[in-house]
Amino acid sequence: MMRTGLDAWRVRSAGFPAEWTDAEKLRFLVNYAVLAPSKYNAQPWLFEICSDSLDIIRDRSWALREADPEGRELILSCGASLLNLSVAARHFGYAVQIQTFPWPGDRYSLARLRLSPLSRDKAKPKSPLAGRASNCLCSANSTNWAAAEPFDDDCFEAIRNRCTSRRPFRTGAPPEEAMGACVEAVFAYGAWFHFIRDEPARRAVAQLVAQGDREQMANKLLRRELRRWTHSRRGRSRDGFRVSRYGLYGAMSLLTPGFSALFWVFNLGRLNAAHDRRLAEKGPVLAVLGTELDNPQAWLSAGQALQQVLRRATVAGLSASFFNQPIEVGHLRNGLCQLAKRTGFPQILLRPGYGEPARHTPRRHAKEVVYSMRTLVLDRGAESGFDQMDAQTARQSFVVNIELGLHARPCALLVKTLRPFRSDVLVEANGEEASGHSIMGLMMLAAGLGSVITITITGEDAPQAMAAIGRLFVTRFADAYGSSRDSRDPKLL
C-alpha cells in the first residue's frame, strides 16, 4: 500500500514502544515532532538519536535563503517540534531533560533531549522555564527539565488536530477564556502574547501585511523560491504547500504548474497584498507573539511558545494562520511592535478565529528525518558506523554526496566547522592524506562524487567533532551553497 504525505498525521499512541529502549521511544516520539508548523511547510529539521538522547538538528539544506535569510523562522519551527516532543513524552509518562545548544561552536545542534520516568520530574527543582520573561530565556548550553503543566488527552491530541487555515473566519471573536489561556501559555518560555482587537489597530496591521507582501513579491529571487514550494493538491510532494492557499480549489488545482510559474515571470504582489489585507481586516482579532531578545535562543523559546498557543487554540476549537510579512521585512517590524504596545521583538503574527476545517499539509515521515551516527546509511553520506576506537580517537568513513565533490566551498565549510575543536583531524581519500584544517590539502585529495573518504580524529573532543562532520554530510554541505534545496536537488539550480 502506497504511503502518502498525509500518513504522518495518522500516528496512533497505541504504537508507543513502552517496553523497548529509550532510543526506540525517542524514535517513536519523532512522529509527533514532524507535525510542527514551518514556513512553506519546509520541515527544516533532522533528529539524531543516540542510545539515550535525541538531538534536534537544523537542516540547512531546506533553509529559505530569500524568505528567511537569518534562519529565524527555521529555528522557530524547530522550537515548535521540540515542544511537540516534550508534550508527547509527558503523555506517555516521561519527563524530558532539555539541553539547549549543547555543543559550543556547533551551528547545527539546537537542543538535546533525554527521557526520565515522570516520577523523577517531581523530585527535580522547578525549571527556570516555569518562571516568567527574563528567567526563561536561559543561556546557551543550559539544561532544564520541561516545566509541568495541567495535562489531558485533548492537549495531546491537539498536536495531530492542529491545522493552519488560510480561509476567511467567522466574525465572532474567540472567548476571553481561550484568549487568556493563550496569553498565559507563553509566559513559561520568556515570551509575550498580545491580542489586537480594536478595528483601527487591526486595519493598521493589515496595511503592514499588505506592504510586506508588495515588497517581498518585488524580489524576483524570492518569487523563484516561492515557486519551488508550490504544488498541486493532487501532487505527491511531502513538503511545500498547496496552491489552494491562493484560492484555487478542486479541479482548478490542475493549473498549479502555470500558476506557480507566474511567481517567477510576473510580480503578483498587488494581488497577494489585497488578498492578505482582506483576510487580516475581516478577521475578528489578530495576535502578536514576541520576545524581549532577538537571538537564536529567543527564537527557539518563541517556537515552543508558539506551539503552546496553537495547541491551546486547537483545544478551544480555534483555527489560525500566519501573517509574518511585517516581521520578515525588517523596517516594518518596529511598526508592528508599536501597534502591539509592547517592547521587544515580534516573532509571529497570528490570525486566530473560528472557521471551516482546513486540510492538513503533507509531511515527511519520521524515518526520513531520523539518523544515528552509528547507523547512517549510504544515501545519507556515511559508509560505516561511528567507530570510536578509544576515549580520544574516532574514525568514520563517508561517501561524498555532493555533485561537484569536495571542491573549494565544501572544503572551506569543513575547515570552518572544525575550527572550534581542539582535536587533530586526518582525512584520507584515493590513497592520499590531508589535514582536516587545510583547505588546499583537502582539495588536493580530489574526492569527487561517490568517493569514499575516511576521517580520523584524535583529541579530547573527538566524538563531538565527528558528530559535527556527520551533520555536514547529512545536510549535504548546504551552508556552503546558501540556497534552499539546491544542494539536494541539482535540477533546481
Residue positions annotated with a catalytic role:
407
CA distances from residue 122 to 46, 294, 492 in whole angstroms, order as listed? 30, 32, 51
Q: At what angle do helices 408-418 and 462-474 cross, to 10 degrees?
A: 150
Separation of alpha carbons 189 and 231, rounded Å: 35
Tell me the pairing of strands 109-117 and 94-100.
antiparallel
How many Å separate Cα 365 from the centre of its chain?
Answer: 15
Separation of alpha carbons 101 and 491, rounded Å: 34
Tell me the pairing of strands 230-231 and 241-242.
parallel
Is the CB of residue 341 less than 8 Å from the CB of residue 198? no
Closest CA to 95 of 122, 62, 132, 64: 122
Q: In what order do the strands lie in the sheet with 370-371?
A: 143-145, 94-100, 109-117, 54-58, 45-49, 370-371
- Backbone dihedral region for residue 476 (phi beyond 0: left; psi -120 to 50: alpha; all else: beta): left
Is the CB of residue 389 less than 8 Å from the CB of residue 417? no
Separation of alpha carbons 33 and 88, rounded Å: 9
Separation of alpha carbons 129 and 297, rounded Å: 13
Separation of alpha carbons 184 and 195, rounded Å: 12
Separation of alpha carbons 284 and 354, rounded Å: 9
DSSP code of residue 178: H
Is the CB of residue 288 less than 8 Å from the CB of residue 193? yes
CA distances from residue 454 to 426, 427, 449 in whole angstroms, order as listed? 8, 6, 15
Separation of alpha carbons 449 and 3, rounded Å: 31
In three-state secondary structure terms, 93 is coil
Strand partners, 57: 46, 109
Q: Strands (DSSP E) along 340-451, which ranges?
A: 345-353, 370-371, 387-390, 393-399, 424-429, 432-435
Is the CB of residue 453 less than 8 Å from the CB of residue 429? yes
